Amino acid sequence: MSTSSKAGYHHGNLRETLLTTAMRMLEEGESFSLRAVARRAGVSPTAPYRHFADRDALESALAAEGLRDLKADLLKGGEPPRSVSDLAEFGNVYVNFALRRPALFRLMFGNECDDTNDDRVRAAAEVHELLGGVLGGIFPDADAPSLATAGWALVHGLACLHLDGKLATTSPDEVANRVRSSFDAIFSARASASK
């Protein structure tokens, strides 16, 4: 039992302690079960079952946390994107999140959506609404939900191609330039086609 996990646990915040511990284990590449999380958190092996029915429930809670963290990263700039170049920077935030937190990103998107977990559903809906609102603001006459799906597919595809080693990630600048050039290529092609 680690001293740091004992020091972090106080009666009343068991769920938060378990999530923090599981997130650390996930991001450090340590495989985990509810028992392993309990052991590392310094609580009894049955304690996690007060908050999580099984490992899937814990993973859904971690995915919801990840979605909230992603949304917070996207909102860090303060101002919503107002142009295609701003939108490319928004895409860079998404790709950087994936590259900075690959295990969490894969957990968030690497398996079937758990639509029975209200917290996860709500967190995912907030990210989708944010993207839809941003695209609706930049392209007021467009079908914002369809455009949001296309934009998400673009940045998610770029993130996965980088994570899977299909695109080089030799420097953050190289990744950022690739995201920018992808946005420019798609949106300039659309503008050219409509002339």
CATH number, domain of 170, equals 1.10.357.10
The pLDDT of residue 3: 41
Q: 130 with 137: CB under 8 angstroms? A: no
The pLDDT of residue 117: 72
The pLDDT of residue 168: 85
Residues 42 and 61 grouped into a single domain: no
Residues 41 and 71 grouped into a single domain: no
Residues 44 and 71 grouped into a single domain: no
Summarize the chain as % helix, strand, coil (round to 5).
Answer: 70, 0, 30
Residues 73 and 117 grouped into a single domain: yes
Residues 78 and 13 grouped into a single domain: no
Residues 154 and 79 grouped into a single domain: yes
Residues 187 and 113 grouped into a single domain: yes
Please tell me the total count of domains within the chain. Answer: 2
Grouping H, G, I as helix, E, B as strand and the rest as coil, residue 17 is: helix
Residues 175 and 89 grouped into a single domain: yes
Other Cβ atoms less than 10 A from the Cβ of 143: the count is 12
What's the pTM value of the predicted model, to 2 decimals?
Answer: 0.86
- Candidates 72, 73, 64, 66; CA nearest to 122 is 64
Residues 182 and 144 grouped into a single domain: yes
CA–CA gap between residue 158 and residue 180 (Å, rounded): 11
CA–CA gap between residue 117 and residue 100 (Å, rounded): 26
Q: 106 with 51: CB under 8 angstroms? A: no
Residues 65 and 45 grouped into a single domain: no
CA–CA gap between residue 36 and residue 169 (Å, rounded): 33
Residues 90 and 26 grouped into a single domain: no
Q: How far is CA 87 from CA 37, 94, 103, in A?
A: 39, 11, 25
CA–CA gap between residue 150 and residue 80 (Å, rounded): 18
Query: How confident is the prediction along the chain (195 residues), in pLDDT tens digits per residue?
Result: 344 444 445 557 999 999 999 999 999 999 889 999 999 999 999 999 999 999 999 999 999 999 999 999 999 978 889 998 999 999 999 999 999 999 999 999 987 776 777 888 899 999 989 998 999 899 999 888 888 888 899 999 999 999 999 998 889 999 999 999 999 998 887 655 565
Residues 100 and 154 grouped into a single domain: yes
Boundaries of domain holding 8: 3-50
